[in-house]
């Protein structure tokens, strides 16, 4: 049960990180803000949303890293050890209600005599 809860949190954190990264502006957008674009009156303060989004992304990334480690530890303590190479291959017997057909033999290829080159 704990494993499933951590997986759900892990997936939500991953989606959150993707959304936060897509909402952030690139480094080239800072040049336009330096020439008085009026960012000082924004909701997030004089620096705009950049520091808020960066801080939130860093927190989500840290939590994502911690859930990754938690999932690795939980899967490492799995009592059931399985090896794919130890499993015997499963071969199904053909069903008897399906008629078996044979393909006709291919006709023999006749060799064609090549004309002599002069």
pLDDT tens by residue, the chain, 118 residues: 888 999 999 999 999 999 999 998 876 655 555 555 555 445 555 566 678 899 999 999 999 999 999 999 988 877 666 677 777 777 777 667 777 777 777 777 777 777 777 6
Q: Residue 3 is part of which domain span?
A: 1-23+46-77
Task: Identify the pLDDT of residue 45.
Answer: 58
| Cβ-proximal residues to 54 (8 Å cutoff; 6+ apart), any chain | 24
7 lies in some domain: yes
Q: Count the domains in the chain.
A: 1
Task: Identify the pLDDT of residue 37.
Answer: 54
Contacts 24+ apart (CB under 8 A), 48-52: 49/23, 50/24, 50/25
102 lies in some domain: no
pTM of this structure:
0.53
65 lies in some domain: yes
Quote the Cα angle for 63-65-69, to 5°: 115
Q: What DSSP character marks residue 106?
A: P
């Amino acid at each position: 049960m704990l494993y499933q809860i951590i997986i759900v949190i892990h997936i939500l954190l991953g989606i959150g990180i993707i959304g936060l990264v897509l909402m952030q502006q690139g480094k080239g957008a800072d040049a336009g803000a330096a020439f008085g674009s009026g960012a000082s009156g924004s909701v997030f303060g004089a620096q705009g949303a950049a520091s808020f989004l960066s801080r939130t992304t860093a927190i989500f990334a840290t939590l994502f890293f911690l859930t990754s480690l938690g999932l690795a530890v939980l899967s490492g303590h799995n009592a059931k050890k399985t090896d794919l190479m130890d499993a015997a291959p499963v071969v199904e017997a053909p069903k008897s209600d399906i008629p078996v057909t044979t393909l006709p033999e291919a006709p023999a290829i006749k060799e064609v005599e090549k004309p002599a080159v002069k």
